[in-house]
Structure 1
């Protein structure tokens, strides 16, 4: 094969695999290089919004997600001390805007698996798992990537363009020297996963944000490995707390008993600790190489926007690659990818996720009361609820993208 025969995708997570599927469905050959030999099942993103479901429907993945995922037709805000339900945002208010007036709880490793399975029916899809990138280069003809396989043998692959979907520590982005502007939160997030049914014990729905000036939290239900339904609880931690203390049996028991006094560490299926960033790459395109997903932007998980915006990135760039591949457009269209996705990541993704965090962690009693009154008013007024949901589901973001030249 020469360099014009394929697109190389570095990173075979959900963004990379969906990008590959989008390309092969256009008749464009791809080679996907992924370091892991199978999708990691650790607790990561699990909320798929309406705007993203529309995109996944275009590559025939949405119906399977709908069948196997957990429907989330609403989400709620609570006050932790009083346990009062402050607001419930019902997605019915956007039913005239989308055929998917709901979110679906569906773990990202399952989305990766689904896209990978769909790729198997395309003989122009070449997926190489256990492939670690060691070097890459580009010239006026194309790109070259060198990688090491599981047997520690070195290989070279060439293509016309390279799509970097290789995560927050992206080898490609770092190799390009592209800086990620932004900051890292002082606290990390502790995620504790359990089979305890918070719907039965506390009336939680599938997506919940719990406001508290001392220790806010988020509670979500996801399908689980066996589709049995499990619950993730997300807690903030103090910057001075040590990993070994936070993840210890005693530390986990202390955290979870603040939520349910009859629970302890033995009720946990998983315990995970994450550093949380708010960063955006200064460039989403460097000549023949494009950044997408976590390689391009990082944000806190409140609102479930990271995975979704990553899918939006890949659907945007794969459409443009298709237009250039079939000579419907010139390569200068790729600069529009940078302008569109960089602007939305900076002005929308970062601002919304930072607002989400500040809202539920607010410490000033007067501001808390004002925030809660505003949430209740927004959820109860149909027009205001619709405006909120258009923003939180990223439908507004998708429409804004089309206006950015």
Structure 2
């Protein structure tokens, strides 16, 4: 019986991002989906800014940008007449720390095509028509036996359920999925074609009336395709009717100035009910849950697919390090430790945004723009509570604003351990080509940044110790510094943005040459692990040994940890905050 490293169940965006991340790390990965053909859905409208950073790291952002469009202004109607227009992104612009200031509109099926193509480049293809019906793990054993309907059993070291809200993996594991379903909050959805020229395709059109609503957003890459969302038709007892093409035509004629015949095609029809649910746990032994299999919430703010993508990016590097034998299996405990609180907060955030949206549309001129806030960009999500965040005394980790939160003047506070690592424009020290710090971070490794001349010796020491274990070092030079002998990976902070974002945290001046300098460890998922003075390699060595040192191999261990241990004892890093559980 053959063995694969990771079997991913579900080939939506969550599963595909995880598969791409693991495949580029050299893991033997397989991905299966119960659908007989590539799954298609009409709901998710595209990645938010944080997901775009992840897609950039995976090497597909340019293709996603080319295939999609920028978010559109929203034109709101009442009684068939336009009454207001809003552009939620009118006041936003790219910044040095966050070059993606807004998300991208792209059909979910098109995003999945792009990710499948990327995955195929690693020699991995989605295995369609395969549904998991059983999972068996012997206590302390080195693998999971996975059963398919035909009775065939296959083995994997780890299994990840990315198979949606009705997850077979979650059900087989018997993991609870507590929450509520709002039976009265119902929406019908589909992809439709409208007669060419029927509506302005530079706007997202939204009709809200006392007796219902219709929303039409143009699908990028099509000439006549639109996303259709509406309040459902109802029968004589007030029960919602199933969506049909003719029903869509009647809704169109009732709420808009368009005749029903303007709708020439309707497919991917579905009924959406507001579900707010979360799994009791995201891990059972060697099996994990991610995306909608672990949490579902209101669509307000567009965080469903995006939260799943970010689950996958958190889990991928941890599985990769354990499979490579660098980290102990305890590292895998930090997936739930970090992502479960994020999911819980997302449930609260989207429920609040839905409430705000339902309140807004009662008034003429209100619309879906009420759902969009800075919280929905994903850029402020961090893990300050995590045992992987090596805080120093005085950081104020539990109550300080998260990275990405902007003060009234627009400035971004310096990040702390656990926060998203800011981006910054810079130049390659060797070639002079323009680049960015997130491009330096890109790929499966951990990055160590060094600011100021005082960091040079520590960077050399770390490169010698961990260079063969997936750790790369990057000296960040100030514009005025002598760059003689610069290593190939070095960059020049010619605009000062990198030093402002990172070095000032340790008291280093913007010139980068005051004091001992600063060393920053950035995890493979772009989150800060530890800050340290440039003349003290101890905290950095300790942190990197936990992730890239001669840790136990997953296959040499006595089995996966299922308890609360994280493998990163707080006494190793004084000042660490307790995990939120």
Please name the residue that 1:195 is paired with.
193
Cross-structure match for 1:142 = 143
> 1:241-274, CA deviations, whole angstroms, 9 ceiling, x for partnerless residues?
3435x5362x333311233233215614225232
Alignment length (residue pairs): 378
Give the root-mean-square deviation of aligned CA atoms.
3.2
Deviation of the 1:306 alpha carbon: 0.8
Per-residue CA distance 1:331-382 (angstroms, 9 max, x = gap): 222222112221111112x2232233222322897xx59x969x89x9xxxx
Matching of residues 199-238 of structure 1 within 5 Å: 205=202, 207=204, 214-223=211-220, 227-237=222-232
Shift of 1:49: 1.1
Question: Structure 1's 274 and 324: CA in aligned 2 closer, same or farther, altered over 3 A?
Answer: same
> What residue number does 1:167 align with?
164
> What are the within-5 Å matches in structure 2 for residues 231-246 of structure 1?
231-237=226-232, 240-244=238-242, 246=243
Separation in structure 1 between the aligned mates of residue 218 and residue 382 of structure 2, nearest angstrom: 26
Q: Aligned pair in 2 of structure 1 residues 265, 173: CA closer, same or farther (>3 Å)?
A: farther
Per the TM alignment, residue 171 of structure 1 is displaced from its structure 2 partner at its CA by 0.7
Q: Cα distance 1:266–1:89, how it changes in 2: closer, same or farther (>3 A)? A: closer
Cα deviation digits, residues 320-341 of structure 1 (max 9, x gap): 1112223343222222211222
Q: 1:27 to 1:347 in 2, by over 3 A?
A: same
Residues 398, 202 of structure 1: alpha-carbon distance in 2 compared, 3 angstrom cutoff: farther
In 2: Cα distance, 1:37 partner to 1:69 partner: 26
Matched position secondary structure for 2:194: coil
Farther off after superposition, 310-319 or 209-218: 209-218
Mapping of 1:284-299 within 5 angstroms? Answer: 284-299=282-297
The secondary structure found in structure 2 opposite 1:103 is: coil
- Cα contact 1:94–1:389 (8 A) shared by 2: no
Q: Relative contact order (alpha carbons < 8 A, sep ≥ 6): 1 or 2 greater?
A: 1
With normalisation by structure 1, the TM-score equals 0.82
Equivalent pair of 2:10/2:162 in contact (CA under 8 Å): yes
Indicate the SS of the match to 1:133: coil
Distance 1:101 1:171, change over 3 A: same
Distance change in 2, residues 1:297/1:218 (3 Å): farther
Question: Using the alignment, how far apart are the partners of 1:273 and 1:64 within structure 2?
Answer: 28
SS in 2 for 1:395: coil
Shift of 1:217: 4.5
Aligned-residue offset at 1:101: 2.5
- C-alpha distance 297-43 of structure 1, shift in aligned 2 (>3 A): same
Deviations for 1:196-227, whole angstroms, at most 9, x for unmatched residues?
389x7666745566655543454322136xx3
Kindly name which structure, 1 or 2, has the bigger radius of gyration based on alpha carbons: 2
Alpha-carbon distance in structure 2 between the residues aligned to 1:218 and 1:354: 20
The Cα shift of 1:103 comes to: 1.9
Deviations 1:26-64 (Å, cap 9, x if unpaired)? 111101121123213342312211110110111111111
The 1:93/1:242 distance shift into structure 2, 3 A limit, reads closer
Q: Tell me the CA shift for residue 238 of structure 1.
A: 7.1
Counterparts of 2:283 and 2:189 in 1: how far apart (Å)? Answer: 34
Change (3 A) 1:345 1:206: farther
Is the partner of 1:78 in helix, strand or coil? strand
Distance 1:398 1:213, change over 3 A: farther
In structure 2, C-alpha distance between the alignment counterparts of 1:165 and 1:234, rounded to whole Å: 25
Conserved 8 A contact 1:105-1:221: no
| Greater per-residue helix proportion | 1
Aligned equivalent of 2:92: 93
Unaligned residue ranges in structure 2 (runs of 5+)? 384-401, 404-417, 420-576
Inter-CA distance 117–37: structure 2 relative to 1 (3 Å threshold): farther
Q: CA deviation at 1:173?
A: 0.2
Task: Please identify, of 109-118 and 231-240, the stretch whose mean Cα deviation from structure 2 is larger.
Answer: 231-240
